[in-house]
Structure 1
Amino acid sequence: MENKLVFKVEKHQDGKKLREYLKLEKSLSSRLIKGAAMGKRITVNGNVVKLNYVVKENDEVAFDLVKEESQNIEPEKIDIKVVYEDKDLIVVNKQPGIVVHPTKSYPTGTLANGLLYYFKEKGENCIVRLVSRLDMDTSGLIIIAKNQFSHMALAREMSKESFEKSYLAVVHGNLTEKEGTINLPIYRTGGDSIKRIVDERGQESITHFKVVESFNGGDLVKLTLETGRTHQIRVHLTHLGHPLYGDSLYGIDDDKEYIERQALHAYRLKFPHPRTGENIELETSIPEDMEKLIEKIKR
């Protein structure tokens, strides 16, 4: 039953059509239900049925999550640091300098290439479904769903309070307030630029921050995102006058002597498991290049 969702119809659910039961009672998406029905992957009491089947109390509904899938991504052997893994999802600690998914500029050598190789080696028929993403030069925890169901469930949870993403950043200067919330809208400037700014035309963007430790040359700050805008932490901290060390897009260009990339690490995740609903809490330690940076700015 590992790759199946199995439900027992309860008394108050008796008389509902299967489609309605799966969508309203089990919160499965219409797309997921339709695809599984077309693939004859939904059974009731061991028999394949149509979506207009009327469920009865004590019916056993089984939803097979396995389907033939492929992706136009070349599997490549890349060192992947797995932090957590089960039949529904995998969480990896991405190293800085790695793109998460192939692009025109980076067709190979991405995290997705490495994951496809990893799945293939394990004999798992999975494609790469990114639940969260990180910039090329941001390190830390990324969630990848192993099936359509877990991707749907995790993506839905991301906008809720039950889903927590926290980062560690090293910034220039010392923040006046040691703890607080930045609630400033973020706007894309337009054209070919990927740069964002704080602007009233932008989307609501909320970042909670707490200074972990202060040094002569800056602060180590913990940041928890309430919204997930592109470059949110980098834009917010730059707007406050405290850009990240190594952030050539928003910060200071001559930081190479300190660190080769923006000093930002996605160190903590908390989210409910898509199948069981139990909370998963994961943490990684601060990377070596950020530790070296802290040693330099302590002096």
Structure 2
Amino acid sequence: MESSVSDTIYAPPRAPIDILHRDDDLLIVAKPEGLLSVPGKGEALADCLETRLRADDPQVLLVHRLDRDTSGVMVFARNRAAQRHLGLQFERRHLSKGYVALVEGYVEEEKGTIDLPLKADWPNRPRQMVHPEGRHAITHWRAIERGNGATRMALHPETGRAHQLRVHMCSLGHPILGDPLYDGPDAPRMMLHSETLELRHPTGGERHTFRAPPPF
């Protein structure tokens, strides 16, 4: 799900999209921070990654999304069969996603798992919240490096709920830097990046890992 952009001026980056891989079934790209994955409501929010990619490749089909302020690896399908195949991999958790985040403070533990259900905070949409009646959400995490009042974290979500990593980091008491929706400390950007995506190729089923190095 996209972050709210109603209270900010939407000024997406204009640089060309970095294409990581293209074949008959897949288009793998590195989404820049600040660009919507799909169009928002209204003409002012029409510019997005999906629209830009389709301008060059009309076959592009959406499979999943990243929040506007999250950067990193995204996969698009290039035919309907591949779209269905990839959609089932997301639904059945047959693929692996790896993120990097900078969070506030010193995380004392080396690794852990967060198993907390999430649901929409309706009066404060698009915020999500931990709630016993929410949808099952699991995040595995590992502390990579500590310094300058922050901890670099490797995050591996087992589920794909809206804002899952952002809310789960808050639940640890360590919000992601630059995340105003969840009271993250000021930073040049939201410090959350989709670094790796491992999936089965729709043709043949061979596993592939695609990577985009974090820009922070």
Q: How does the TM-score come out when normalised to structure 1?
A: 0.65
Which residue type is aligned with residue 162 of structure 1?
H
1:199 corresponds to which of 108, 111, 131 = 131
SS in 2 for 1:171: strand
Q: Mind listing any 5+ residue stretches in structure 2 that lack a counterpart? A: 1-13
1:111 corresponds to which of 39, 43, 49 = 49
Which residue type is aligned with residue 18 of structure 2?
K
Aligned runs of 1:45-56 on 2, under 5 Å? none
Does residue 98 (structure 1) correspond to residue 31 (structure 2)? The answer is no
* Structure 1 partner of 2:164: 232
Q: CA deviation at 1:161?
A: 4.5
User: 141-150 or 190-199, which moves further after superposition?
Assistant: 190-199
User: Bigger relative contact order, structure 1 or 2, given CA contacts below 8 A and separation 6+?
Assistant: 2
Q: CA deviation at 1:159?
A: 3.2
* Structure 1 partner of 2:97: 165
Larger radius of gyration: 1
Does residue 181 (structure 1) correspond to residue 113 (structure 2)? The answer is yes
Q: CA deviation at 1:107?
A: 4.0
Q: CA deviation at 1:81?
A: 0.7
Aligned runs of 1:23-102 on 2, under 5 Å? 79-102=16-39
Q: CA deviation at 1:108?
A: 2.9
Q: In 2, distance between residues paired with 1:102 and 1:204?
A: 28
* Structure 2 partner of 1:251: 183
Which residue type is aligned with residue 117 of structure 1?
A
2:191 corresponds to which of 240, 255, 263 = 263
User: 81-90 or 189-198, which moves further after superposition?
Assistant: 189-198
Q: In 2, distance between residues paired with 1:273 and 1:151?
A: 11
Which residue type is aligned with residue 182 of structure 2?
Y
Which residue type is aligned with residue 166 of structure 2?
R
Report percent identity of matched pairs: 35
Which residue type is aligned with residue 96 of structure 1?
E
Q: In 2, distance between residues paired with 1:172 and 1:107?
A: 30
Q: In 2, distance between residues paired with 1:112 and 1:96?
A: 14
CA offsets 1:238-273 (integer angstroms, 9 cap, x no match): 111100000000023x50xx32x2100000000000
Q: CA RMSD in A?
A: 1.6
Contact 1:93 1:284 in 2 (8 A): yes
Alignment: residue pair count: 202
Q: How does the TM-score come out when normalised to structure 2?
A: 0.88
Q: Mind listing any 5+ residue stretches in structure 1 that lack a counterpart? A: 1-76, 120-124, 291-299
